[in-house]
Structure 1
Amino acid sequence: MHVTEIWIPYISADDAIGQGLRAMTHQFNLGTFGVYVFFLVSGFVIPFSVRGEGLAACRTFLIRRFFRLMPMFWFSIPLGVVTTHWMWHKDFGWDALLANVLLLPNLFDLPFAEGLYWSLQAEVTFYLLIAALLLVQGFARSSVVLSYLGVIAAGKLLEKSGLQAYHFYPVAMLVLEMLKIIFIGWLLQRLFSERRLGKMDWLLLGYLLFQYFVKRPMNAWHFYQHGERWLDHLSVTLAIVVLLLFRGLNIRHALLAYLGKISYSLYLLHPVIMYSALYHVAVTPDSFLRQWPLLWVLAGVLLLTVAASHLTWRFIEWPAQQWGKRLIVRQSVPDVKVQVQPAN
């Protein structure tokens, strides 16, 4: 999706596959669909990583999540600044850099080092919610429906607050909307792992099924009849189907496991690779990439991104996770003071 969007000026008229990919991206936002799948999987998987409740469980969870996300995220920031901004002579000051380190630039109307960081905001918010539930020992007994209703209530309060003119308003609304997608994955996780749900959870599940398997398809049909874009209205529905399909297939393959392992680096590094390729084309009129079909460009960006992601996994992600594990072990083992009794 991302590569096709930025490569549109360089897709030749006789590149049938490239023109087909361009038409597909115009009809269906594959990038947004991928984000929805990611959020559903996150809601499905992350609760499995929770062990126990209380302060110790909260601390362990936050340490694991911090060392899983932040070192690689911080490493990607300067790469994004160079390839997304400075190479194109776009302003990106120290204030924007600091705001990106804190993952809050859009709250201050500052640019992201990489445009995709917005999805990390929703993910981190989900982690903080789980941490809060663990801290108050409410994770096991708290129904997903309470969190879902809380998000809806927060959104309604923001809509009525008159704060629409402030920078944080659209950010907060987007995060709340994405949290609702994550909660669907969380609800499905509970359904498949516990095999039983409370009455409120069943009501929420029925509501969601109606929304995404009845109402959304009806809206899509309406837009289709009027000749407008309609597939985007089925993005969440299709994402849920994909999650359920792959869970049902129970696919186990070494290549998929490997791609899953390096997927975070793939996510963070593909803009670096694709904008570098675009820059080469933009500043070099006779660049060999201008002669490549879009499919070759996609393959090249993919292979380079996989290679770079392998290196960052090996030298950044994996060591960072080991540091986190050692820190957890160190904090979980209390200091033992041995008192030596004097001999009689």
Structure 2
Amino acid sequence: MPTNTLTPPRTDIGAPPVRSSRMGWLDALRGLAAMVVVFEHSLDVLLPEVRRTASPWFDFGRYGVFVFFLVSGYVVPFSLERRGNVREFWIGRFFRLYPAWLVAVGLALLLGATGVSWGLPAALDERPWTSALAHLTMLQDLLGVPNAVNVLWTLSYEMVFYLLVTALFLAGARRASARVALGFGVAAAILGVALPSGLLASRWPGGTTFVAALVLVAGLAALLSGRRAVRRAGVAVVATLALTLLILDSRIGGVESLCIIATMFAGTAVRAVQDGRLRPWPGAAMVAVVPVLVLIAGLRTPPAWALSGGPQPLGRDWSIAVAAAWLTFLGGLALRHRAMPRVLVWLGLVSYSVYLLHPMVVQVIWRLTGEPASIPGHQRLAWYVVLVSAVLVSAWLAHRYVERPAQRLGRRLAHAR
């Protein structure tokens, strides 16, 4: 057995055998989440009435991404434990995320250069090499670099989660997910409003990106090492990097950053309790507290001594959306043994491409239609059908010709010796 392969020990709690088939309810949740995010980003273009009336009460975008975060938390750590091999896990993640990501970024650059879309954030042109390096790490939202595509910000927190999950796995803390989720939830509720936003990048923009990229590469190389002492050092390096960027350098602020990671680890704990790898008490009780802490954190008003320059609470629209995401996830979990609508399952299969590619389609539609106030309502609804159709077709093409071949290649490389 290779020295960097860690087979999870047998547990007397009784973990069930691994199921090879996809879980339809998870695909259905992904499909729902992706289409809600598309809906959110189409409001300013085609449905401003919904923006004015509903958005003060409900953040559709945050609802969608928090459903994604819960699903990732539920699935990704189990993938690592099932493989029992850090190298295979990271190869799988690379070929799962980067190929479609490259297509989305390339398309955004092309549309911006040709004037079809509204272009990229101006700050990307000021430091192009730094911006490119930050994006390649997928940590750009934690490095003070604007996102080339607006939805890429969530991948930065996914990457932090992967790093922390890997560190916990190699540290032998596979059953710590409930405690970790609770810890991040408590930190969000108590300390989140006092944490700075973009502290490192604002003072040392280029250097922060360079050092973070260097530390990330070194840490991952150490995690993949065959020497136990080096792996332990890698655990410390990647955990320190992830926590430092999360706490001190997040664009969205400490409250939401900590809430996101707490939510993802709560999803992990739900899976662990369900599979019998974590005892219901106190595991389930700790998980139940996490969404309460997250909602408290979102509604808290920062104190006068806060370090982040007077941040505002995330607000009721954010809190209602996050609560709805939790209810949706738990509803899907309760219905997991039932057949899901095929359309939602299919949408789940192509959801990553839907998520990455729809912003470019939205910008093209906006360029074609102009200001929505000048368009009759029935025409805007027709344009919305065009938008959704274009998103689904482009996502299907990307899934079939980019995602699936890349994942097959990743599986071959992961099992190569």
**Does the C-alpha gap of structure 1 residues 84 and 203 become closer, same or farther in structure 2, counting only changes over 3 Å?**
farther
CA contact (8 A) 2:72 2:267 kept: yes
Q: Does 1:307 align with 2:346?
A: no
Q: Give the distance between the partners of 1:20 and 1:164, measured in 2 at CA.
A: 32
1:127 corresponds to which residue? 162
TM-score with structure 1 setting the length: 0.75
Distance 1:124 1:105, change over 3 A: closer
2:59, 2:289 → 1: CA distance?
A: 25
Deviations 1:274-307 (A, max 9, x none): 101112234xx9x9x9455333222211110110
Whichever of the two has the greater Rg, that structure is 1
Once the two structures are TM-superposed, the CA of residue 238 in structure 1 deviates from its matched residue by: 1.4
Question: Which of the numbers 251, 257, 263 marks the counterpart of 1:181?
Answer: 263
Q: Structure 1: how far apart are the matches of 2:89 and 2:73?
A: 15
Instruction: Please tell me the residue identity of whatever aligns with 1:119.
Output: T
Structure 2 residues not aligned, in runs of 5+: 1-39, 202-244, 301-314
Amino acid at match of 1:30: F
Partner of 1:142: 176
Matched, 1:68 2:156: no
With normalisation by structure 2, the TM-score equals 0.63
Relative to structure 1, the CA distance from residue 23 to residue 129 in structure 2 (aligned partners, 3 Å threshold; closer, same or farther) is same
8 Å CA contact 2:69–2:264 kept in 1: the answer is yes
Contact 1:39 1:181 in 2 (8 A): yes
Which residue does the alignment assign to 1:25? 55
Kindly provide the CA deviation profile for residues 85-110 of structure 1, in whole angstroms up to 9, marking residues without a partner as x.
87335534233334323323344533
1:244–1:301: structure 2 CA closer, same or farther, 3 Å change rule?
same
Shift of 1:24: 2.1
Q: Is the 8 A contact 2:73 2:267 kept in 1?
A: yes
What RMSD, in angstroms, separates the aligned Cα atoms of the two structures? 3.5
Given the alignment of the two structures, is residue 48 of structure 1 paired with residue 78 of structure 2, yes or no? yes
- CA distance 1:47–1:86, change in 2 (3 Å): same
Partner Cα distance (2:182, 2:278) in 1: 18
8 Å Cα contact 1:78-1:113 kept in structure 2:
no
Pick from 268, 271, 274 the counterpart of residue 362 of structure 2: 274
Mapped partners of 2:191, 2:54: distance in 1: 38
Asked if the contact 1:43–1:184 (Cα under 8 Å) also holds between the matched residues in 2, the reply is: yes
Other structure's SS at 2:145 match: coil
Q: CA deviation at 1:25?
A: 3.0
SS of the counterpart of 2:279? Answer: coil
- Contact kept, 8 Å, 2:69 with 2:263, in 1: the verdict is yes
| C-alpha distance in 1 between matches for 2:194 and 2:290 | 24
Matched-pair contact (CA < 8 Å) for 1:84–1:275:
no
Displacement of 1:147: 5.3
Counterpart residue type for residue 315 of structure 1? Y
Q: How much has 1:156 moved relative to structure 2?
A: 7.4
Counterpart of 2:42? 3
Q: AA paired with 1:197?
A: R
CA distance in 2, matches of 1:315, 1:142: 39
Question: Comparing 312-321 with 59-68, which one deviates more in the overlay?
Answer: 59-68
User: 1 CA distance for matches of 2:389 and 2:150?
Assistant: 22
Give 1:72-221 correspondences, 5 Å limit: 72-83=100-111, 87=115, 88=118, 91=122, 92-93=124-125, 94-95=128-129, 96-139=131-174, 141-146=175-180, 148-149=182-183, 165-167=199-201, 169-171=249-251, 173=254, 174-194=256-276, 197=279, 199-208=281-290, 210-211=292-293
CA distance in 2, matches of 1:51, 1:233: 32
Preserved contact between residue 44 and residue 51 of structure 2 (Cα < 8 Å) = no
1:104-153 CA-partner distances (Å, limit 9, x unpaired): 334453321111111111112111222222333432x4343135426755
Q: How does 1:215-234 map to 2 (within 5 A)?
A: 230-234=316-320
Q: Quote how far apart the aligned CAs of 1:199 are.
A: 4.6
